[in-house]
């Protein structure tokens, strides 16, 4: 579907049914609503009918996810109390979901990190992580339009598992790495392949970081809600057609290894 010279792409991440299904599920969001001033923090209701406004529940809470995560267990405990209480729910029709995390210090990405993807591309599986970056200005909400830049004729899609780091660290051991993770969300690594592969000296940055090239969300799923981040179904649809269908068990380097590697 083309909309005013723009193409809509959607990416979905869901827990695989079976023994690794999480027993509890906290899904944190950032959202806007016509009757509210500025962005608010929210919590998806357990029945799936809408959003619980955490800032209305406790006006002392920060209104951005980064500030919320920086305060650690103190703010997470408030969200847990809100989850357990019977609170009013804003229906989906009255809210606009934003990216669950906006303006992070870094967006660190890993290329060719799925075994099945490497086989599809007929390229060798990497021996060590291939790291690149996106500017945080490329982040948009999960349902925002992706703008096709006039300077590129080869815009492409890739669905990704996004790991949200909740606290600072350096030289982190793989065995300790998950303690630094606040949660997980879904990302869309949109790329201008002509800029990535043939222009700008074949450095990837410009081809990866046009405005709107990093849709995130809809929710940040807390770490304790995901029993196994390496057993999640992950797929991408373009104009209603499934173009990628995989599982995070295909990751070459797992989350713990990647955090340890990047923190060095």
Beta strands in 112-216 (DSSP E): 130-134, 139-140, 155-156, 159-165, 181-188, 191-192, 214-215
Alpha helices in 100-238 (DSSP H): 115-121, 193-197, 205-208
Q: Please state, in angstroms and as integers, the Cα–Cα distance from residue 158 to each residue in 4, 50, 213, following that order.
A: 22, 28, 11
Question: Among positive and negative, which fits the CA dihedral 85, 90, 40, 58?
Answer: negative
The pair of three-digit structure tokens given for residue 58, joined into one six-digit string: 């406790």
DSSP assignment letter at 120: H
Q: Of 75, 73, 111, 260, give the one whose Cα is nearest residue 174.
A: 260
CB atoms within 10 A of CB 120: 11
pLDDT digits (tens, 9 = 90+) for 235-261: 999 989 999 999 999 999 999 999 999
Q: How large a percentage of the chain has pLDDT more than 70? A: 91
Model pTM greater than 0.75? yes
pLDDT at 24: 57
pLDDT digits (tens, 9 = 90+) for 171-193: 999 999 999 999 999 999 999 99
The pair of three-digit structure tokens given for residue 120, joined into one six-digit string: 């599809």
Q: Of 141, 28, 42, 58, give the one whose Cα is nearest residue 91.
A: 42
CB atoms within 10 A of CB 234: 22
For 130, phi then psi, to 5°, come to: -100, 105
């Amino acid at each position: 579907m083309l909309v005013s010279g723009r193409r809509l792409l959607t990416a979905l991440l869901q827990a695989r049914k079976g023994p690794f299904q999480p027993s509890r599920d906290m899904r944190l969001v950032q959202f806007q609503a016509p009757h509210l001033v500025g962005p608010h923090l929210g919590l998806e209701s357990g029945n799936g009918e809408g959003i619980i406004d955490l800032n209305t529940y406790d006006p002392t809470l920060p209104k951005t996810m980064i500030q919320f995560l920086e305060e650690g267990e103190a703010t997470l405990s408030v969200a847990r109390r809100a989850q357990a209480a019977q609170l009013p729910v804003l229906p989906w029709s009255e809210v606009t979901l934003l990216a669950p995390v906006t303006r992070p210090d870094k967006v660190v990405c890993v290329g060719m990190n799925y075994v099945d993807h490497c086989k599809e591309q007929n390229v060798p599986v990497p021996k060590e992580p291939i790291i690149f970056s996106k500017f945080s200005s490329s982040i948009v909400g999960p349902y925002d339009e992706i703008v096709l830049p006039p300077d590129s004729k080869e815009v492409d899609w890739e669905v990704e598992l996004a790991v949200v780091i909740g606290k600072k660290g350096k030289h982190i051991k793989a065995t300790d790495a998950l303690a630094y993770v606040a949660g997980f969300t879904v990302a869309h690594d949109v790329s201008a392949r002509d800029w990535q592969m043939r222009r700008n000296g074949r450095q990837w940055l410009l081809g990866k970081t046009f405005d709107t090239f990093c849709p995130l969300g809809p929710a940040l799923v807390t770490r304790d809600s995901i029993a196994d981040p390496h057993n999640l179904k992950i797929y991408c649809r373009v104009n209603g057609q499934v173009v990628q269908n995989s599982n995070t068990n295909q990751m070459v380097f797992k989350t713990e290894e990647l955090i340890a590697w990047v923190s060095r």
